[in-house]
Amino acid sequence: MSVKESPAATSTFADLFGRDPAVRADAPGRVNLIGEHTDYSGGFVLPLAIPQRTRIELGPRIGPLVRAWSANVESPEILEYRLGDEKPVHGWLDYVQGITDVLRQDGYTLRGFDLRIESDVPVGGGLSSSAALEVSLLRALREAFGLEIDDVKIALAGQKAENDFVGAPVGIMDQMASSLADDKTALFLDTRSLQFERIPLPAEAEIVVIDSGVTHSHSAGEYRVRRQECERAAELLGVRQLRDLGPQDLWRLPSLPEPLDRRARHVITENARVRSAVAALRERDLPRLGKLLYASHESLRNDFEVSIPEIDDLVELASEEPDIYGARITGGGFGGSIVAVARRGTGRKAGERIAARYGESGKRKATVLVPTA
């Protein structure tokens, strides 16, 4: 990798590379309605896309050189590497290098390219800015080089890049959501079989997403620790993954050492809550859906211990809003955002009231991301 110059954040592809892009592609961030920290145990999730997206412009080159630029860093620079010579540099370029590395390993033929990235998915907001980058780049590469890769394979390639190259041991939810979901339909996904069903949001419901302003980092230890705890709990209980247990097995958990008993209880009850949430959506029973969201939050806070006081405050403030049915932490945790379900047409105002009360001390600032202003 080498640093070339420092073009302004507003630079166009033509400013940066002296020609127009050949291909444009984009992909959304996601918000998970329910089914948190279940995917790496083979469980169920229910994400939707959010309106915020990552946008890619790309122009193929002759030879193996990749030149890449992102508008979303403090002093944007054109970074370079050669295909076949991908090496982690511990920055955003690793997502790009990870994708080309995985594609080549999987036997796809690529050439070098020039790349411009721009995104309005907040980084560290629990809304999958990384999956949006991976999926949008894979879509652009598919088009530019005629790759035969379908949307599920795109999700798998994104996850592999993040696991093997970036070093974040994430599950498959985010990439599947970014590749396959839209913002009006929840993607009911079985993360083991990758079978999915699209569940429309009832017309009376509206999704609200509020960013706490506290950012997280997945390659940081806690996510990895939770994953290992779930794997260990499954091993001690004699099943392949916690997904293989249901509410009828909860009596077995006291045999596990603390905190594995609580971790397993979260995953088992959360998988059951996802199924109940799908039923509630089908029956348009929003009060029931709301209760499931609050129960999920309690479980993530007390049993799985991935919440933080700021997020708990946002959920508490949401619970005081008459037009909000339910709310919970969304994403990997340790910061990020909450998701809430509101009565249609009321979400933006309710979100703004919650953000205003959250910021009253002047020490912290929340942002209503969905519904967009």
Rank residues 170 and 208 by Cβ distance to ligand GLA and give the closer one.
170
**Shortest Å, Cβ 129 to ligand GLA:** 10
Rank residues 97 and 271 by Cβ distance to ligand GLA and give the closer one.
271
Rank residues 79 and 264 by Cβ distance to ligand GLA and give the closer one.
264
Instruction: Identify whether 174 is a catalytic site residue.
Output: yes
> Which among 39, 94, 114, 174 is annotated as catalytic?
174
Pairwise CA distance, residues 22 & 19, whole Å: 9
Rank residues 40 and 113 by Cβ distance to ligand GLA and give the closer one.
40
Among 324, 331, 306, CA closest to 211? 331
Among 336, 250, 259, 362, CA closest to 50? 336
**Shortest Å, Cβ 169 to ligand GLA:** 9
**Shortest Å, Cβ 100 to ligand GLA:** 21
36 binds ligand GLA (CB under 6 A): yes
Rank residues 76 and 331 by Cβ distance to ligand GLA and give the closer one.
331
Q: What angle do CA 160, 166, 171 make, to 5 degrees?
A: 45
Q: Which stretch binds ligand GLA (CB under 6 A): 165-173, 192-200, 245-253, 276-284?
A: 165-173
Draw the binding track, 305-334, toward ligand GLA (x: CB under 6 A; -: no contact): --------------------------xx--
Site size for ligand GLA (CB under 6 A): 10
**Shortest Å, Cβ 174 to ligand GLA:** 4
Draw the binding track, 168-207, toward ligand GLA (x: CB under 6 A; -: no contact): --xx-xx---------------------------------
**CA quadruple 210, 69, 95, 179: dihedral sign:** positive
**Which residues from 37-56 bind ligand GLA, rule CB under 6 A?**
37, 39-40
134 binds ligand GLA (CB under 6 A): no
Q: Which stretch binds ligand GLA (CB under 6 A): 21-29, 36-44, 70-78, 361-369?
A: 36-44
**Shortest Å, Cβ 351 to ligand GLA:** 21
Distances (CA, A) of 42 to 34, 155, 232: 15, 16, 14
Pair of tokens at residue 123:
């980084």
**Shortest Å, Cβ 282 to ligand GLA:** 23
Rank residues 93 and 172 by Cβ distance to ligand GLA and give the closer one.
172
Draw the binding track, 257-296, toward ligand GLA (x: CB under 6 A; -: no contact): ----------------------------------------
Pair of tokens at residue 90:
């511990």
**Which residues from 202-231 bind ligand GLA, rule CB under 6 A?**
none
Pairwise CA distance, residues 353 & 117, whole Å: 33
Pairwise CA distance, residues 328 & 35, whole Å: 11
Rank residues 262 and 357 by Cβ distance to ligand GLA and give the closer one.
262
Integer Rg of the chain from CA: 21
Q: Strands 113-119 and 65-70, how do they pair?
A: parallel
| Burial class of residue 104 (count of CB atoms within 10 Å of its CB; 0-12, 13-18, 19+) | middle
Binding region for ligand GLA (CB under 6 A):
36-37, 39-40, 170-171, 173-174, 331-332
Q: Which sequence positions are flagged as catalytic?
A: 174
